[in-house]
A and B are shown apart, each in its own frame.
Chain A
Amino acid sequence: MLSYIIRRLLILPVVVFGCIILVFLVMQLLSPYQRLSVYVSNPAELKNVDFDVLIERYGLDDPIYKQFADWFWEVIHGELGWSESAARPVTGAFMRFMPVSAELALWSALPIILGGIWLGSLSAVKHNKPLDHITRIVAITGWSLPTFVAGLLGLFLFYGILGWFPPGQLGLGASAIVRSSEFANYTGIITLDAVLNWNWYVFGDAVRHLLLPVFTLAYVSWALLLRVMRASMLETLRQDYVTTARAKGLEEKVVIKKHARRNALIPAVTIAGVTVAFLFNGLVITETIFDFHGLGRWAARAAQTFDLPALLGYLLFNGVLIVLANLIVDVMYAYIDPRVRLE
């Protein structure tokens, strides 16, 4: 297992390198002026900007291999450059936005995975019974509903009318506490930091602001997992060994938990892994609708404004994330299914 993991980790830089080369090649389709546009968004600044000087200074006319080599040299020295779209260094942008996405992802992952797996297996067990029909409706509506529609509907109802769950990460009072010198920001994940500071007011306020985006995300995301788990469970329940287990007199609970569900989990694990990876990726629409300043929102803005340092930094991060997520999924396969040997 260990040698397998190491071999997979060795592929990581190759994958990331390939993606970066691709982006660099695509960026060469832009003219130097287009690439400079990220620095000039205010027409007044055009007065004293000499584009030729800038092109020379940033090496935008240099051969592609030199541009890439210059950038790569900076990266391995920890310099990912400045993100105009975030108005801060790229590394600073990651440190600011990643905890936000991570908090959303962590809080959403549990309901998505547990809810999807539990509801999926339950609807398979109660096949064609009312519960199965209800979960089917939940899955279809969740899958069909665009995130922004679900989010906006939820926001209008639960905040606009009822005033329960406002957008943003914190209210005014909790924000003031977090800003103050009495509150230590350990991770940037507010709920976690609130626990570490033993401040339950901030924790409660953060959870209050998280409930709606988490529920929205869960509702639109667990459909796929639910249906995959249901289908896989149905197939597993028809297997001969399940019939044998029942015939041996085992309780239905034990048959489902110990024999059926574990085997049915394999395809669901793949989906769950990819889903969680995408959650950590950042979710543009959810973050925008609920005013969470996370990675997805930043990446979308960087793409719109041709913020090349930000895009390359984000690509690096994503490459690492996806490779690691796939590795974790493969390792979990081996844990779930003893027949799987990681060679």
Chain B
Amino acid sequence: MKKIWLLSLALVLVFTAFALGQDIRNPDTIVRIEYGTVNTLDPAYSYDTASGAVMFNVYENLVMWPMGVVDADETDLSYSLATGDLLPMLATVVPSVDNGLVVTYPDGSVTYQFPIRKGVKFHEGGDLTPEDVEYTFERAILQDRDGGPIWMYIEPLSGQKYWRLYQVVNAVLGIDTNKGETIKDLTPEQQAQVYAAIDSWVEVTPTGDVVFHLDAPYPPFLTILAHAAGWGAILDKEWVIAQGGWDGEPDTWAAWYNPGGGQAAEESELYDVMNGTGPYMLEKWDPGIEVVYERFDGYWREPAAIKTVVDKKIQEWSDRLLLFGRGDADICSVDPQYLPQVMGQPGIVTTLNLPTLGLNPAGFFTSDLNLEGNDLVGSGQLAEDGIPSEFFNDAHLRKAFAYAFEYQTYIDDVLGVAGGYRTHGPVPKAFGWAYDDDPAIYYNYDIEKATAEMKLAHGGAIWDTGFTFVLLYNEGNQGRRVIAEILEKNIESMNPKFHIDVRGVPWASYLDRMVTEQMPLFVIGWLADFPDPHNFVIPFAHSTGTFSGWQGATLVAMFAENYDPLISAAMAITDQAERAAIYYQMEQMSYDDCYDLWLPQVNGYRVQRDWVQGYAFNPLFPDVYYYSVYKAYE
């Protein structure tokens, strides 16, 4: 409290000291302050937003997204997430059925053909060639580190038969590599066999185009290649080889497979070096401290307006506030609870109500709880002092919890000035074409309905016996704590025999409980890898999904039986209206099954100095796209 009082007291003084009309500080430099550790500079390795933000400015992809602008005078939301609106970047044309560059064959396979732009230079001086593009994707596929993003290419290119390279290796060679552990021991002949199997996935045509060959349709394929997807960043083959990377030969790739076991980023030869075609070059990367970019004057488009960008990682909010207030920083990351401290201050522009692309947070019920060593379930019996393993197996009980959450209160009191919106899953609201906005499939706070459902739960036994369990939240996260406390308060108010004990634990413990299926209800979220419902229905509703896979045997069986077929069906067709119908059906089923708690989502917002112009916007962007930014009063 002392700290908040101090901050508040000083705010007036600090900001008053810098009224409107202040001279533009550091006109040739943008200083961006935020927090978020960059883990690697290798595009094929990187799967976190902070690393993706660096790829985004230094590397480029074959195609890119249209973007709007959010700056001091204007909020232009003319971005698009529609495949049909993609723009060419390192390709000269975006392939489509209309222009004949997307072709579906009688056997169901599909090809995407990209003519490659000429006259594009890499920062180190090399020329972009189609062979660079082919090498980029083959390298990524053959690296496929554990926990990495390359499943997004293996899945479509293999016709959705596989999503990891080791599965391809197992199938081609007829061996068991223990989930890739023995791939490094493959002989050159075996490596050549595997390479032969994937070679046709990406090839250079005699005319110098690059062709991707998919064994089956994959409607969002172009979106996975688009700029903002760091894993699709195009590399200079000769330069990568010079850094010690794979030499491009069919029988040598295993030595570069899964560097560091996927958990030691520095094992990749591109860990701390970059050489892209983008408008900025990497000047310096000091992990956890700052990233510095310098303008690339040989850029294939008009060079950027800003010469230097300094992206500083500053955890302490007071430092960020002071630097921002004095104009020594131009763009600032502001947590929702601190927004009131900057809104309306002279020299600061805050833009609210921006679309976001995620389902974060969401609540996940766990069926068939693991009772072994589980101190969250009390006695582990259907009794007032515990819960049984099959506690959340019952849909009535899940619905009771869904009716017991105060959604609007959460938006008003927790999300504060940033505001939020109601949503249901498993498709985020931002995908308007696939999102069913029917009010009938939203759960709203209704304690009477919650009570009614609770009385039906487990044939009425829950109401008679009562229960006790521990509801964990991830420490350091105010919002998650409030979610737990709202549920505790409202559930306990229904019946004096209902007891929920809310407890905060560190991420390590939270992850442990999640993975071992010990938590009756866990809260976590998903941000979009690419803008298609498929990227969400898998983690939320597929039997092997990242989160749904941990929801216990009964729910997993339900996903396998009812949702997996729909998910596959939606990917087998390309007509958007037909796909939308399937997703609508899934959303209705999600309402009926109530396997998740669909929590309100915070609105997006931007905070910047009033002299920052040209700030590009698209909810898919990992962070600032400095190319379009300049400093001026307009």
Question: A and B, one complex?
Answer: yes
Residue numbers of A with Cβ under 8 A of B are 30-31, 33-51, 53-54, 57, 82, 85-89, 96, 148-149, 152-153, 155-156, 159-161, 163, 166-168, 172, 175-176, 179, 288-291, 293, 304-306
Q: Are B179 and A87 in contact (CB-based, < 8 A)? A: no
Q: Are B164 and A48 in contact (CB-based, < 8 A)? A: yes
Q: How far is the CA of A166 from the CA of B288 in the complex (A)?
A: 20
Q: How far is the CA of A37 from the CA of B308 in the complex (A)?
A: 36
Q: Are B539 and A156 in contact (CB-based, < 8 A)? A: no
Interface 1/0 per residue, B487-517 and A, CB below 8 Å: 0000000000000000000111101100110
Q: Which residues on the B side are within 8 Å of A48 (C-beta)?
A: 146-148, 151, 163-164, 262
Q: How far is the CA of A152 from the CA of B9 in the complex (A)?
A: 12
Are A289 and B318 CB-contacts (below 8 A) given A87-B38, A305-B507? yes
Q: Of the candidates B14, B147, B323, B547, which one forms a contact with A167 in the assembled complex, judged by CB atoms under 8 Å apart?
A: B323
Q: How far is the CA of A155 from the CA of B314 in the complex (A)?
A: 15
Does B460 touch A at the CB level, under 8 Å? no
* A282 to B: closest C-beta gap in Å: 15
Q: Are B179 and A149 in contact (CB-based, < 8 A)? A: no
Does B31 touch A at the CB level, under 8 Å? yes
Q: Are A57 and B261 in contact (CB-based, < 8 A)? A: yes
What are 19 of the A-B contact pairs (CB < 8 Å)? Answer: A33-B515, A33-B516, A38-B508, A45-B48, A47-B147, A47-B546, A48-B146, A57-B181, A82-B264, A87-B37, A87-B288, A152-B3, A156-B10, A161-B13, A163-B17, A166-B323, A167-B314, A167-B323, A172-B26
* B206 to A: closest C-beta gap in Å: 36
Q: Which residues on the B side are within 8 Å of A49 (C-beta)?
A: 146-147, 262
Q: Are B13 and A160 in contact (CB-based, < 8 A)? A: yes
Q: Are B322 and A53 in contact (CB-based, < 8 A)? A: no
Interface 1/0 per residue, B264-290 and A, CB below 8 Å: 111000000000000000011011110
Residue of A nearest to B506 (CB): A304
Residue of B nearest to A81 (CB): B264
Known pairs A57-B181, A167-B319, A179-B292; list 14 more (Cβ under 8 Å): A31-B512, A40-B147, A41-B507, A48-B164, A48-B262, A54-B261, A86-B288, A87-B38, A87-B265, A88-B288, A152-B3, A155-B318, A166-B326, A175-B310
Q: Are A160 and B326 in contact (CB-based, < 8 A)? A: yes
Q: Which residues on the B side are within 8 Å of A172 (C-beta)?
A: 26, 29, 31, 310
Q: Are A87 and B287 in contact (CB-based, < 8 A)? A: yes
Q: Which residues on the A side are within 8 Å of B286 (C-beta)?
A: 96
Q: Which residues on the A side are within 8 Å of B175 (C-beta)?
A: none
Q: Which residues on the B side are within 8 Å of A149 (C-beta)?
A: 2-3, 6
Does B527 touch A at the CB level, under 8 Å? yes
CB-CB contacts below 8 Å: B203-231 with A: none
Q: Are B546 and A43 in contact (CB-based, < 8 A)? A: yes
Q: Are B322 and A33 in contact (CB-based, < 8 A)? A: no
| Interface of chain A: mostly helix, strand, loop or mixed | helix
Q: Are A44 and B526 in contact (CB-based, < 8 A)? A: yes
Residue of A nearest to B525 (CB): A43
Does B328 touch A at the CB level, under 8 Å? yes
Interface 1/0 per residue, B139-182 and A, CB below 8 Å: 00000001111010000000000011000000000000011010
Q: How far is the CA of A149 from the CA of B9 in the complex (A)?
A: 13
Q: Are B326 and A163 in contact (CB-based, < 8 A)? A: yes
Are A293 and B288 CB-contacts (below 8 A) given A87-B37, A172-B31? yes
Q: Are B527 and A44 in contact (CB-based, < 8 A)? A: yes
Does B634 touch A at the CB level, under 8 Å? no
Q: Are A34 and B512 in contact (CB-based, < 8 A)? A: yes
Residue of B nearest to A32 (CB): B512
Does B263 touch A at the CB level, under 8 Å? yes
Q: Are B47 and A160 in contact (CB-based, < 8 A)? A: no
Q: How far is the CA of A41 from the CA of B178 in the complex (A)?
A: 25
Q: Which residues on the A side are within 8 Å of B263 (C-beta)?
A: 39, 54
Are A306 and B508 CB-contacts (below 8 A) given A160-B13, A160-B325, A291-B314? yes
Q: Of the candidates B14, B146, B292, which one forms a contact with A161 in the assembled complex, judged by CB atoms under 8 Å apart?
A: B14
Q: Are A30 and B3 in contact (CB-based, < 8 A)? A: no
* B209 to A: closest C-beta gap in Å: 31
Are A288 and B315 CB-contacts (below 8 A) given A159-B326, A161-B13, A172-B29? yes
Residue of B nearest to A38 (CB): B508
Q: How far is the CA of A172 from the CA of B26 in the complex (A)?
A: 9
Q: Are A86 and B287 in contact (CB-based, < 8 A)? A: yes
Does B39 touch A at the CB level, under 8 Å? yes
Residue of B nearest to A39 (CB): B263
Q: Which residues on the A side are within 8 Å of B148 (C-beta)?
A: 45, 48
Are A53 and B179 CB-contacts (below 8 A) given A96-B286, A152-B3, A293-B289? yes
Residue among B29, B292, B508, B526 with the highest chain A CB neighbour number at 10 A = B508
Q: How far is the CA of A57 from the CA of B148 in the complex (A)?
A: 17
* B290 to A: closest C-beta gap in Å: 8
Q: Which residues on the A side are within 8 Å of B266 (C-beta)?
A: 82, 88-89
Residue of B nearest to A159 (CB): B322
Q: Of the candidates B151, B261, B318, which one forms a contact with A152 in the assembled complex, judged by CB atoms under 8 Å apart?
A: B318
Q: Which residues on the A side are within 8 Å of B14 (C-beta)?
A: 156, 160-161
Residue of B nearest to A167 (CB): B319
Q: How far is the CA of A148 from the CA of B163 in the complex (A)?
A: 49
* B292 to A: closest C-beta gap in Å: 7
Q: Of the candidates A33, A43, A45, A291, which one forms a contact with B316 in the assembled complex, judged by CB atoms under 8 Å apart?
A: A291
Q: Which residues on the A side are within 8 Å of B26 (C-beta)?
A: 172
Q: How far is the CA of A147 from the CA of B438 in the complex (A)?
A: 54
Q: How far is the CA of A88 from the CA of B524 in the complex (A)?
A: 27
* B100 to A: closest C-beta gap in Å: 35
Q: Which residues on the B side are within 8 Å of A57 (C-beta)?
A: 181, 261
Q: Are A88 and B529 in contact (CB-based, < 8 A)? A: no
Q: Of the candidates B47, B288, B508, B546, which one forms a contact with A35 in the assembled complex, judged by CB atoms under 8 Å apart?
A: B508
Residue of B nearest to A156 (CB): B10
Q: Are B181 and A53 in contact (CB-based, < 8 A)? A: yes
Q: How far is the CA of A57 from the CA of B539 in the complex (A)?
A: 26
Q: Are A34 and B511 in contact (CB-based, < 8 A)? A: yes
Q: Which residues on the A side are within 8 Å of B181 (C-beta)?
A: 53, 57
Residue among A40, A43, A163 with the highest chain B CB neighbour number at 10 A = A43
* B567 to A: closest C-beta gap in Å: 15
Q: Of the candidates B6, B31, B328, B508, which one forms a contact with A156 in the assembled complex, judged by CB atoms under 8 Å apart?
A: B6
Q: Are B10 and A160 in contact (CB-based, < 8 A)? A: yes
Q: Are B508 and A155 in contact (CB-based, < 8 A)? A: no
Q: Which residues on the B side are within 8 Å of A31 (C-beta)?
A: 512, 516
Q: How far is the CA of A45 from the CA of B265 in the complex (A)?
A: 13
Q: How far is the CA of A167 from the CA of B524 in the complex (A)?
A: 34
Q: How far is the CA of A45 from the CA of B325 in the complex (A)?
A: 36
Q: How far is the CA of A57 from the CA of B182 in the complex (A)?
A: 12
Q: Are A148 and B3 in contact (CB-based, < 8 A)? A: yes
Q: How far is the CA of A156 from the CA of B288 in the complex (A)?
A: 25
CB-CB contacts below 8 Å: B294-343 with A: 308, 310, 312, 314-316, 318-319, 322-323, 325-326, 328
Q: How far is the CA of A305 from the CA of B178 in the complex (A)?
A: 29
Are A30 and B288 CB-contacts (below 8 A) given A50-B146, A176-B308? no
Q: How far is the CA of A161 from the CA of B289 in the complex (A)?
A: 26
Q: How far is the CA of A45 from the CA of B150 in the complex (A)?
A: 11
* B484 to A: closest C-beta gap in Å: 18
Q: Are A289 and B31 in contact (CB-based, < 8 A)? A: no
7 shortest interchain CB distances as A-B pairs: A37-B508, A87-B287, A33-B512, A45-B147, A156-B10, A160-B14, A34-B508
Q: How far is the CA of A179 from the CA of B149 in the complex (A)?
A: 32
Q: How far is the CA of A152 from the CA of B323 in the complex (A)?
A: 13
Q: Which residues on the B side are within 8 Å of A86 (C-beta)?
A: 287-288
Q: Which residues on the A side are within 8 Å of B29 (C-beta)?
A: 172
* A335 to B: closest C-beta gap in Å: 40
Q: Which residues on the B side are within 8 Å of A306 (C-beta)?
A: 506, 508
* B475 to A: closest C-beta gap in Å: 9
Residue of A nearest to B262 (CB): A49
* B257 to A: closest C-beta gap in Å: 14
Residue of A nearest to B516 (CB): A33
* A178 to B: closest C-beta gap in Å: 10
Q: Are B511 and A44 in contact (CB-based, < 8 A)? A: no
